[in-house]
Amino acid sequence: MKIGQLATLAGLNASAIRYYEKMGLLAPPQRSSGQRRYPSDALHRVLLIRFASDMGFTLGEIKLFLNGLRDNAPVGPRWKKLAARKLIEVDQNIARSLRLKTLLQNLTQCHCASLQQCVGALGLSENLRFVAKRARAAKS
């Protein structure tokens, strides 16, 4: 299979496939007069990369557990550890998004003429100060 076909089947650009190879996620395939020729199971591998990427893993993380054969730890436990950590991130993201949603709903439903009025009316000024305080604390 040539790179264009693989890319089409995976829903990517060919440049993305080459990028994965360069980043060490995809083994360099055989070449036929300079051009890459992929075995058919390469598609599964690429789809797996896309899948993990869609799940929020960085390419670095994906590389870690796809090429982890040289490490001592078995692949399964390491992968589960990664997944568990990502699960925490996802949960935090959900919690944050829910808070944002509440705030946005309040803001879209209020009858103020300006955002500044809204913020005052909804008592968000304290929120603002709190956020700033936390940011200051986080920096020190």
Partner DNA sequence: CTAAAAGTTAAACTCAGCTTTAAGTCAAGC
Partner DNA sequence: GCTTGACTTAAAGCTGAGTTTAACTTTTAG
Q: Which residues bind its own copies (CB under 8 A)?
A: 8-12, 44, 47-48, 50-52, 54-56, 65-66, 74-76, 79-80, 83-84, 86-87, 90-91, 93-94, 97-98, 100-101, 103-105, 107-108, 112-116, 118-119, 124, 127-129, 131-136, 138-139
Closest CA to 19 of 55, 46, 37, 40: 46
- Count helices and strands in the chain by DSSP H and E runs: 7, 2
Q: Smaller CB distance to its own copies: residue 32 or 136?
A: 136
> How many Å apart are CA 104 and CA 76, to the nearest integer?
41
- What token pair was written down for 73? 């730890």
One character per residue 5-24, x = contact with DNA (rule: CB under 7 A): x-x----xxxxx-xxx----
- Burial zone of 20 (CB within 10 Å; 0-12 exposed, 13-18 middle, 19+ buried): buried
E-strand ranges in 1-131 read 30-32, 35-37
- What token pair was written down for 24? 């060490």
Q: Which residue from 30, 32, 40, 108 is in contact with DNA, where contact means CB under 7 A?
A: 32
Residues binding DNA: number (CB under 7 A): 22
Q: Smaller CB distance to DNA: residue 14 or 107?
A: 14
Residues that bind DNA (CB under 7 A): 2-5, 7, 12-16, 18-20, 32-36, 53, 58-60
